[in-house]
Amino acid sequence: MKLVRFGAAGAEKPGLIDGDGDLRDLSNHIADIAGETLSPEGLAALAALNASSLPRIAEKQRLGPCVAGTGKFICIGLNYSDHAREAGLPVPTEPIVFMKATSAICGPDDDLVIPRGSTKTDWEVELGIVIGKTAKHVSKEDALEHVAGYCVLHDVSERAFQNERQGQWTKGKSCDTFGPTGPWLVTREEVADPQNLSMWLKVNGETMQSGSTRTMVFGVAELVSYLSDFMSLHPGDIISTGTPPGVGMGLSPQRYLKAGDVVELGIEGLGQQRQLCISSS
């Protein structure tokens, strides 16, 4: 299934994309794409519905973040071997973990706001994991049973805030609109191999990133298992799994986003995003 949330920011309704690509309204069946809806039982109940019997939404709608109720937005740094080389850093021997504020989450096509004082706002296409069942000390072999599905994530980063100010990376990762999520949550059974997905990102029509989840250092199952040893993972939690090479910081000369730029990005089978960069008011 492809699950979506549509409507005005803060008032999204749950929906799904049917086999013909039409948007169908799920609000008569569930309150939101969150909590128990993401459990194996909740997803099975949605899969049992006759999609053609659900109300069809004909008019164009804003798509919101594809999951609600996210308690933790966990990111993995330098998780692509070719990106680590691009950054001039060693390939990690253990996942590099940092947090992104949940207030950064926004819709896949919402405007990307360049924050006040920014000089180095950068792009990063990433595979997102959405947790569906609580995970604590789970094995790598059982880890995928705790995954509801996958989505496209844009881990926008302000490199000066991240690397040139004291403290951890979080403040360079957490500005408002720095976490476009979606367009939809593709449930786990529809993704045959999350470690074999092509991914790309363009700025003003120019391809900047072109990679594959094949080059991830730590794969989906390993990340879920690893993180569950340090914290419980709950339904709706998001794991952003790292980016392939081609970020602005890695170019020579370096290149960063400015107001008026258009960023487009996508992952095979998971859809695509488009953001217009605007200045902070």
Domain ranges in the chain are 2-57, 73-279
- 84 pLDDT more than 90: no
Q: Which residue type does 196 have? A: N
108-125 burial, b for 16+ CB within 10 Å, e for fewer? bbbebbbbeebebbbbbb
Q: Is the CATH code 3.90.850.10 the one for domain 73-279?
A: yes
- 103 pLDDT more than 80: yes
Write down the mean pLDDT value for the chain. Answer: 96
Partnered with residue 126 across adjacent β-strands are 153
- 109 pLDDT more than 90: yes
Strands 238-240 and 73-77: parallel
- Does the predicted TM-score (pTM) go above 0.85? yes
pLDDT of residue 89: 77
pLDDT of residue 142: 98
CA distance readout (Å), 98 to 53, 104, 115, 196, 271: 43, 14, 20, 24, 26
Give the whole-number percent of the chain exceeding pLDDT 70. 100
The span from the CA of 88 to the CA of 252, in Å, is 13
The span from the CA of 166 to the CA of 172, in Å, is 11
pLDDT of residue 86: 75
Give the whole-number percent of the chain exceeding pLDDT 90. 92
Give the pLDDT confidence of 5-48 residue by residue, as tens digits: 999 999 999 999 999 999 999 999 999 999 999 999 999 999 99
User: Are residues 221 and 35 in contact, defined by beta-carbon separation less than 8 angstroms?
Assistant: no
